[in-house]
A and B are shown apart, each in its own frame.
Chain A
Amino acid sequence: MISWGNFISQCFNGLVLGALLALISSGLTIIYGTLGVLNLAHGAMFMLGGYAGWVAFTYTGSFIVAVIAGSLFVMLVGIVMERGIIRYFYTRPHEDQLLVTFGLGIVFVEAVRFFFGSLSKMMPPPPGLGGIMNLGFMFYPTYRIALLGIIAVALLALFIVLYKTRIGMIVRAGIEDAVMVDSLGIDVYKIFMLVFGIGAMAAGFAGIVNAPVVSIAPDIGEAILVQTFVVVVIGGVGSFPGAILGGLIAGEIISITSMFNPGYAYVMLFVAMTLVLVLRPYGLLGTAGRE
C-alpha cells in the first residue's frame, strides 16, 4: 500500500523533476521558436553541462564555480555550434537540420566518453545542503529542496531576460516573425547566435545543478531529450510558459506513475501527450503556425 508520506515525497520529486524539465525545455523551445531549428543535440548540452561542471569542481572544489564555469562553457559550445555549423542550415530543409544536430549530439556524447570513459561521475551537493531535512510532515533530501529554489531562480532569470529586457523583446519578436525583425534593421543573425547560446546554457545549467541528484554519465542526455520533446509537445512549441507548464505536468506524471510501476512512467507520459495532441493539437499554450 502506498503511504501518504511516500505519495507526498513523490509529488515533491515530480516537482523537482518538472522544474528541471521546464528549464531544459524552455531552452529547446526558444531556440526552435526563434531559429526554426529543433536541436537534437540539446540532451547532449545537458550532459556537457554536467561534465564541465564536474571538471571545474574537481579543480576548484567550489560548487558555485562549477555552476558558473559549466554554464559558460555550454553557452560557448552553443555559440560555436551555431556560428560554425547551424547557421548554414537555416535555409536547408528541416530534415537536414535534424540530421546534423542529431549527428552533433552523437559526437558530443562520444567525445565525452572518449575523454572521461563510460563510468558515471558523482558530484557531492554543495556544503550545508547535504543530508536530509525534516519538513515536519516528512523527511526530504535538503539539496532537492534547494534545487527547486535554484531552478526557480534560473527560470525567473530567463523570464526576466525574455520578458523584461530589450533583447528579450527582440527574441520574442523573432519567435513571432524573424523576417520582420530583420526588416526592422535588427541583425537577426546576431540574435540567433545569442538565443542558441542562451538555450544551450539553460540545458547546461540544468545539467550541473542536477549532477548532485543523479550521477552523470555520457548518455544521460538521451532520456532527458525524449522527456523534453514530450514537454514541448504538451506545452506548445515556441512557448516559454508552455515549457514550464508542460515540464511540471511531465515531472508529476513520471514521478507519480513511478511510485506504482516505473515501467509505465513513459506510457503515461505518452498517453498525456496523445491526449494533448487530440484535444489541443498545438499544445496547451501553443499557437498555430509554429511548425
Chain B
Amino acid sequence: MRTKTPFLVEILTAIALIAAPYVLPHLGFTPNTINRILIWGLFGLGFDILFGYTGLLSFGQSAFFGTGGMFAAYLLTQTSFNYVMASVFIGAAVAAAAGYLIGLIALRRTGIYFAMITVAIAEVFYFVEFNPLSDFTGGENGLPGVPKPSIFLGFTTLRFNTDFEVYTFLAFWYFIGLVLALRIVRSPVGAILSAIRDNPLRASALGHNIHSYKLTAFVVAAAYAGFAGGLLGLMQGFMPPDAFMFDTSGQLIMQTAIGGAGTLFGPLVGATVWLYLSDFFQNTLHLGATWKLVLGIVFVLLVCFLRRGIIGAIVDLYDLVTGKKVKETPEQAPMELGLTPEEDEQRRGVSEVAPEPAPSLPQRRATNDQSGPILQATGLTKNYGGVVANSDIDFTVNHGELRGIIGPNGAGKSTFFKMLTCEVPPSAGQILFDGRDITGMTVTDVCQLGLTKSYQINQLFNRLTVRDNVMIAALAEIRGKFKLDLFRNPNSIPGLTEQVDRTMALVNLTARADAPVSELAYGEKRRLEIGLALATSPSLLLLDEPLAGMSPAERAETVKLLKSISQGRTMIVIDHDMDALFELAERVTVLQEGRVLTEGTPDEIKSNKQVQDAYLGGVHGVIDA
C-alpha cells in the first residue's frame, strides 16, 4: 500500500466513496447493505491494525463493538444527554478503556492462548450485557429509539435521515477513520507493530517494549470497534444485543480474511462480498438459512487457496499481468518438521560483492574514550535442571577492545551471550555493564543501555524491506523503548534517515534497500543481521557466530566488514573460524565445558597446550569450521 504519490490512497478512497452510492445499486446492492458495509469496514480498520499489522488474532472484538454501541445508545435513549456524535465518541472511549483493561490480561500470552482468552472474554461481555446489566442494555431486547445521525456544529445541526444522507454521514466517518489508520500504519508505531508480527523476539531484543505496543494496537482496535458500534445504533435506530455475540467477532474475522488482512481495505472488501452474497443467497436464490453454509464453505476454500484474500489475489494478478516477478508469500511459521529456511540456505551459501569501506556509525554515549572495563561478569552460572551450561565464569572486557570467544561445540558460548544480553537470567553471578548492574534486567532495557547482539541464526523481519528492518532497529535508539507517536511520519524524525542510510552502507546493502528480506540471499541476510544490531548504535556489540554458514569468499569479506565496524567500538565475537578470529581479535577467551579455560592474545592461545588438548584431544566433538 505504499505509493510514491502522497495521499494517493486517500484520494482514490475518497473517489470510490463518492462513486459508490451511484454505482453499487446497479449491481444489486440495497442502500441499507451499502451502509452496513461501511460500518463493518470501519470496525475492520481497527481489527486489521491488530490482526493484519500486529499479527494478533482476536476472537473477541464483539465485546468492544457492543460496548461502544451500547454505551452510546444508553446515553442517547436513557439519559438526557442528546449530543449524538459526542455519545458515539464517549462510547468509543469506553470501549477503548475496556480494551485497555482486557488487553492487560489477554496480552499476557500470545498465539493460541491469546485467541482462546479473547473468545472467553467476549463471551463474558455477552453474558454480562444480557443478564446483570440488562436494566441498562435492555437485555435481549436491546435499546430501541436511538436517534438518527446528526452532527451538532454549534450554530446549526446537520441531520441525516434518508438512506443516502446516512450514507454520506457514514462515508465521512469511514474516510476519517481510514486517514487516521493510514497515518498509524505509516508511523513509527506502525513499523514496530509489523516488526512484532514478523519477529516479536527480535523486536524486543532491539529495545522496543513490545508489550506496550501490542496493548496500543489492542486499544486502537477496541476504539475503532466501539466507534463502529455507536454508528450501528444510529444507522438502525436501535442497538441490537447481538452486536455482543460471538458471531459478530466471527463475521469480522471472516470478512477480513476474505478481503485480505494487512491491507486496511481487506475488511471493507470482505464485507462487500459477504453482505452481497448474503443478500444474494437469501433474497435471490431463496436459500434461507443455508446461506451461512455456503458462505462457510466459500470461506474455508478461500483460506485454503487464497491465503492473502481478494486484495492479495488482485495484487498477485496485477504483478503477473505487468510482468513483475510473482513471488512466493513469505513463510512466517517455522517448519514444523525439517529444515528452517535459514538452515536450508546455510547449506548453500551465496557469494557476495566485497563491501566498500563505509563511514562508521556514531555510537551512543560516547564511551570509547574511556578506559577500563565496559563489561564485567563475575561468577556467572547457568543451570538447566541438572545440566550446567555455564559455571562460575569471570569475564572482563575493556572499552574499545575486540574480544574473541572460542570453544568446542557445547562449551556454553551461546548461553554465555544470552546471559550477557539478559535474554536468559543467570542462575548465579552478576553482570556489570558500564559500571551498572544489569543482572536481571530485560533484554529490551539492556539494548536501550547500548548492549546488543547479532544472532547466530538470523532473526529478521521477513516480510519487511531491508530499509524497514534497519529503520525498526534505529527507531529503538532514537525513540526509546516506548513512544506513542501514532500519527508521526517517520521521515520527519531527525537523524533517522541518515542513520538508516549509514547502517545500510556500512553492511553494503544500500542497493537492496527496497527488497523484502524474504528475497535476500543468505549472505545478505547475514549482513542485515549484523546491520540490525549496529543500527541501535550499541557501545558494546556481541556477535554470535557472524561467519556461520558463509563461503570462504564471504568470510573474507565479512571479516573486513567486522574490522571496519570495530573502529572505536567494543565488540565480542564468538566464532568457530579460528583463522578469522585470530586475525580479528586482540584477546581471545576459550570456553570449555561451561568454564573459562584460558584467556590471552591470539598467539598465546595458539600455542596453549590446554587449548590444543581441548580441541584436538578429542574431549568433545569436532570443530565445524
Chain A residues with CB under 8 Å of chain B are 32, 36, 38, 85, 88, 90-96, 98-100, 102-104, 106-107, 110-111, 113-114, 118, 178-179, 182, 188, 222-223, 225-226, 229-230, 232-233, 237, 261-267, 269-270, 273-274, 277-278, 281, 291
Contact = CB atoms under 8 A, between A and B. Distances in A.
B483 interface: no
B303 A103 contact: yes
Contact of A32 (B51, B112, B123, B250): B112
Q: Is the interface of A mostly helix, strand, loop or mixed?
A: helix
B116 A267 contact: no
Interface of B: 51, 55, 57, 59, 105, 108-113, 115-117, 119-121, 123-124, 127-128, 130-132, 246, 250, 253-254, 257, 289-290, 292-293, 295-297, 299-300, 303-304, 307, 331-333, 335-337
A188 B337 contact: yes
B386 to A, nearest CB: 17
B311 to A, nearest CB: 16
Contact of A103 (B59, B296, B333, B335): B296
Contact of B128 (A229, A233, A267, A273): A267
Contact of B296 (A91, A106, A222, A281): A106
Given A178-B337, A229-B120, A102 B111 contact: no
Contacts of A264: 131-132
Given A95-B57, A179-B336, A269-B120, A103 B109 contact: no
A106 B250 contact: yes
Given A95-B51, A103-B300, A266 B109 contact: no
Contact of A291 (B110, B250, B332): B110
Nearest to A263: B131
A92 B109 contact: no
Contacts of A291: 109-113
Contact of A270 (B113, B115, B124): B124
The 4 A-B residue pairs with the shortest CB-CB distance in the complex, in nearest-first order: A263-B131, A110-B293, A229-B116, A106-B296
Given A98-B59, A99-B257, A233-B113, 13 more contacts: A38-B112, A88-B304, A92-B333, A102-B253, A113-B293, A226-B246, A233-B116, A261-B131, A261-B132, A262-B131, A264-B132, A277-B109, A281-B109
Contacts of A110: 289-290, 292-293, 296
A276 to B, nearest CB: 10
Given A106-B250, A188-B337, A277-B105, A99 B303 contact: yes
Interface of B is mostly: helix
B18 to A, nearest CB: 33
Contacts of B336: 36, 90-91, 178-179
Contacts of B297: 107
A94 B114 CA distance: 11
Nearest to B246: A222
Contact of B254 (A103, A179, A261, A274): A103
A217 to B, nearest CB: 13
B123 A266 contact: yes
Contact of B331 (A91, A229, A261, A273): A91
A93 B131 contact: no
A106 B292 CA distance: 8
A96 B296 contact: no
Contact of B127 (A263, A274, A277): A263
Q: Which of A103, A179, A278 has the most CB of B within 10 A?
A: A103
B290 A270 contact: no
A96 B303 contact: yes
A190 to B, nearest CB: 13
A265 B296 contact: no
A196 B620 CA distance: 42
A118 B120 contact: no
Contacts of B105: 274, 277
A278 B299 CA distance: 36
Contacts of A36: 336
B130 A263 contact: yes
B120 A230 contact: yes
Contacts of B304: 85, 88, 100
A74 to B, nearest CB: 19
6 contacts: A38-B112, A95-B55, A223-B123, A230-B116, A270-B121, A270-B124
Contact of B293 (A91, A111, A230, A269): A111
A104 B337 contact: no
Nearest to B108: A277
A32 B117 CA distance: 16
B289 A118 contact: yes
Contacts of B333: 91-94
A291 B300 CA distance: 24
Contacts of A261: 131-132
